[in-house]
Chain A
Amino acid sequence: MLLRVLFSRANPLHLAAGVVGSSVGLILLLLAIQLNGDSRVLLSQRADFLAPEYIVINKPVSFGGKNGFSPEEIEAIRHDAPVDAVVPFGVARFAVQFELKTISFMNKQLTTMAFLESLPDAYLDFADENWRFSAEEAEEGNPVVPLAIPRHFLTLFNFGFAASQGIPAMSEETVKFMRLDLKVGAPTSMRTFPAKIAGISDRLNTILVPDSFLSWANDHFGYDTMADKDATRLLLVAPDPSSPKITEYLEEHGYEAASDKVKNSRLTLLLRIAFAVLATVAGVIIALAFLVFVLAFQQLITRSREELRTLLAIGYSLRYLTGYYFGLLLAMLISILALAFPAVSVVKHRIYAAMIGYGFEHFPAGLSWNLALVGVGLGAGLLLLNTIMVRASLHRFVRGG
């Protein structure tokens, strides 16, 4: 009965516009929040795939300039950058030469000048039982020195050099059986160690030896004029390598990141911008929709003002009528929310279904609790605003105003 009285003059079109607009706005807003939250999970996963938590950085090469990191600079990075650890590459301060006896080319042995670097074993991306070196054995005999090369080298050799020069290609296994000689020392007096390749690295673009070997060899063969003592490359261990903060930090200090991990952070940044734009648009839509909603409701009251005045005049209380509108609005909001959450879920799964096969495999399931918080918060805000406005109108009507 009361419903018929109060809605006898309602404009269903306006009310429907308010409800539909609010629903669409809410769905977009919740979707933006949900996708933003999921993107962190998704990107960290994608980054993992690209060997994520490690970033190798160096200074840009400049003519005649030094490009090593001083201990102070390393300390500064350790302190300021959003990273868990900063690991300088160990540098060989002696001459290095490889000789490959098993393969001859144009009746000559393959010989090359080279360099060595090292990292603590914990930061390597390969494992091999031969990856060890003991100083005692080196003092007494001539132990085999394990080496690690980047996978790029093997690719270059197999598909560039070997293929064009008529030399057989080598698989990873064959390479590991190959013996070569490692000559270290001053150019005039070098000591020869047998060496073998024990690791092939996807992540580290350098020729590595065990840290223990390099420090031992630097003690024995190193000479100060040979090279800069400072490390020229640093390995950064980042908790969230796709975080744009790392990119910002590196750019700010003019450091170069030697790999494409950082692209992820650009992607993240782009995505965040996209979500921010989506959230802003959703926010504007929702603000407008709420405005329409509030105005429609206000209009409902204004149109029914005679009925409301009469109801108040025949003894209906302000509290009862306010409560009545509160109940109506609550029911409307609950239906909007009940519509919005499944809609967000459906859209989310549609999006993820389209993403399968692009390197993403695990998708965060379900909806975030934040959504419920935001949805209920907005609903409560709208409810409060409307109730205050209804109350103010009714207060006038009680006194015949």
Chain B
Amino acid sequence: MNAIRFHQVVPEPLREVLTSTGEVWGAPERIFPIGEPATLIAPSGRGKTTLLSLIYGLRHDYEGRILFDDQDLRSMSDRQWTTLRREKLSMVFQGLRLFPSLTALENILLKNRLTDFKSEQEIRELIDAVGMTPLLEQPCGTLSFGQSQRIAIIRALCQPFSFLLLDEPFSHLDAETRAQSRAIIMREAAEQEAAVILTTLDAALGLGEGREVRL
């Protein structure tokens, strides 16, 4: 998988709201190539989460065409989506989607045992890199949102991917942990030669490199 292409895509909920064509919505063509980081910047209500959900196959209410290389997203089967989510696409959800009854480590392992991508040692190193080691055995339900964000980021790194989708991943992180998290994300993406697509309200909470795209 080398690129994600958008052709005149307009999500149903935004049809009335969008008055002008942006760099993605309604654009004749928008390509996210592999290996290139992109920070999508837009105020609320401009469809940042919607865009990632479309790519991740969680929403299907749009006009236009979205292609992975040459395959239209609309033609994907359940099984193809599952395979993509294990091997090509990884995502940090805005709501994080961690299991509150499981510990931080268990949340990560629940994903990793599916892909068997990282060793437990590697996982512990990642956790340590974002300063979460002391909270490893705590149920996620008891963690703060910022702490949970870091766990969700590590979970997303426990699989092979060509595109890493991050939905406002640093919104509750201080400057230090933001830098730590950014570092492990960019390192993993570089190792996998993958593209990172991050959404944010504010350019300061972006990737700090690569292209900036205004929705």
Contacts and interface: CB of A to CB of B under 8 A. Distances in A.
Interface residues of B, number: 26
B82 A8 contact: no
Which secondary structure dominates where chain B touches chain A?
helix
A377 B81 CA distance: 35
Which secondary structure dominates where chain A touches chain B?
helix
Given A4-B102, A5-B110, A395 B56 contact: no
A1 B109 contact: yes
Contact of B111 (A309, A314, A400): A314
Interface string B91-118: 1010001010110001001110011000
A313 B99 contact: no
Contacts of B81: 398-399
Interface string A313-329: 11111110000000000
B86 interface: yes
A351 interface: no
A181 interface: no
Contacts of A317: 78-79, 82
Contacts of B78: 317-318, 395, 398-399
Given A313-B93, A316-B114, A8 B101 contact: yes
Interface residues of A, number: 21
Contacts of A312: 82
Most chain A Cβ neighbours within 10 Å, of B56, B86, B93, B99: B99
Contacts of B60: 399-400
A383 to B, nearest CB: 21
B106 A1 contact: yes
B148 interface: no
Most chain A Cβ neighbours within 10 Å, of B59, B101, B155: B101
B101 A398 contact: no
Contacts of A314: 85, 97, 110-111, 114, 155
A400 B114 contact: no
A315 B93 CA distance: 14
A312 B97 CA distance: 11
Contacts of B39: none
B59 A400 contact: yes
Most chain A Cβ neighbours within 10 Å, of B93, B97, B155: B97
25 contacts: A1-B109, A1-B110, A4-B102, A5-B99, A5-B102, A8-B99, A306-B97, A313-B85, A313-B93, A313-B97, A314-B85, A314-B97, A315-B86, A315-B114, A315-B115, A315-B159, A316-B82, A316-B114, A319-B79, A398-B78, A399-B58, A399-B78, A399-B81, A400-B57, A400-B58
Interface of A: 1-2, 4-5, 8, 306-307, 309-310, 312-319, 395, 398-400
Shortest 8 CB-CB distances between A and B: which pairs?
A400-B58, A315-B86, A317-B82, A315-B85, A310-B97, A8-B101, A398-B78, A5-B99
Given A8-B99, A398-B78, A399-B58, 18 more contacts: A1-B102, A1-B106, A1-B110, A5-B99, A5-B110, A310-B97, A313-B58, A313-B85, A313-B97, A314-B97, A315-B85, A315-B86, A316-B82, A317-B78, A318-B82, A319-B79, A398-B57, A399-B60
